[in-house]
Amino acid sequence: MKDLLNPYQKNSLRMTLQMFEENLRRALEWLDGREENGFLYTRKLNLPDEKKAQALGEIHTALGLIENLVHKFDLPKDASDAASLLRGELSVNWANLLDTRARKLNRYGKTHRDLSGMLDSDIQKLAEIALGLSSILGETRQEKS
């Protein structure tokens, strides 16, 4: 059965299953009581015990099916470095941060004349930090090569 898929089909199947597996494993963490408390958000999964048990059963069934498909179609394991993922996300953060400067916020309506002085330097600093972290994580990858 390993030759039923051409390389593009195999890659598509692998990517779809990988994204689903990542979501399932994240759900397992939430079901296990993981909480996040930031300055701007709080995340906690609140489910009755009966629903948690149901969800756990479905997740384990899905993970078993994914494992079977991996073996059945000889799907390769992605061995990506977390630094690559973070680097990409930080680059997006950098761009999004720059889009929250006062001048850019005008697209949502007229801004207060003092906004730029109160906001832009902090946003610029955060954007520079995001870009700097992205660079640091890129350097880590190059040092290992």
Query: What pLDDT, in 10s, does the model give residues 90-112?
Result: 999 999 999 999 999 999 999 99
User: How many residues make up the chain in this entry?
Assistant: 145
Residue 139, pLDDT score: 73
For the segment 14-30, the average pLDDT, to the nearest whole number, is 97
> Is residue 145 over pLDDT 50?
no
Q: Quick one: pLDDT band at residue 79, thresholds 50, 70, 90? A: confident
Mean predicted lDDT score pLDDT of the chain = 93
How does DSSP classify residue 42? E
Exposed/middle/buried for residue 130 (C-beta within 10 Å: 0-12, 13-18, 19+): buried
- Kindly give the residue spans of alpha helices, DSSP state H, lying in the chain: 7-31, 49-72, 82-98, 102-105, 115-144
**Per mean pLDDT, which range of 2-6, 26-30, 61-65, 139-143 is the poorest?**
139-143
Nearest to 108 by CA among 99, 117, 96: 99
Mean pLDDT computed over 26-45:
95
